[in-house]
Amino acid sequence: GQQLNQSPQSMFIQEGEDVSMNCTSSSIFNTWLWYKQDPGEGPVLLIALYKAGELTSNGRLTAQFGITRKDSFLNISASIPSDVGIYFCAGPNNNAGNMLTFGGGTRLMVKP
């Protein structure tokens, strides 16, 4: 089945640094979604991408839909302590309805 591979699995950075993470797949996706999960909460949708090459921002977050449609990237600029959490990428499960396939997540830790 479809799989989404996220890297890195975890990151420990200093406050103020920029962060980059990515999500890759062996199959093509027509939509990419990025979620953030705070400790003890449910995943929250950050950014949705619908077109190959698309670059979309949400505050300090910027996500890109890879040209090959097999990858996506999320960047966070000038990280702050509240950026701590797990970031998931997701894409439609092409085999079934409105189901999503989720990546394993990137755990971000920010040192003040």
Partner 1 sequence: DAGVIQSPRHEVTEMGQEVTLRCKPISGHDYLFWYRQTMMRGLELLIYFNNNVPIDDSGMPEDRFSAKMPNASFSTLKIQPSEPRDSAVYFCASSLAQGISSYEQYFGPGTRLTVT
Interface residues with partner 1 (CB under 8 A) are 31, 33, 35, 40-45, 48, 50, 88, 90-92, 96-100, 102, 104-105
In the bound state with partner 1, the residue whose beta carbon lies nearer, of 32 and 73, is 32
What is the nearest approach in angstroms of partner 1 to the Cβ of residue 91? 8
Q: Which amino acid, residue 109?
A: M
- CA angle, 100 then 104 then 106, to 5°: 120
CB-nearer residue toward partner 1: 74 or 79: 74
Which residue, 40 or 59, has its beta carbon nearer to partner 1? 40
Q: How far apart are alpha carbons 46 and 87 in whole angstroms?
A: 9
Identify the burial level of 1 via C-beta atoms within 10 angstroms of its C-beta, where 0-12 means exposed, 13-18 middle and 19 or more buried: exposed
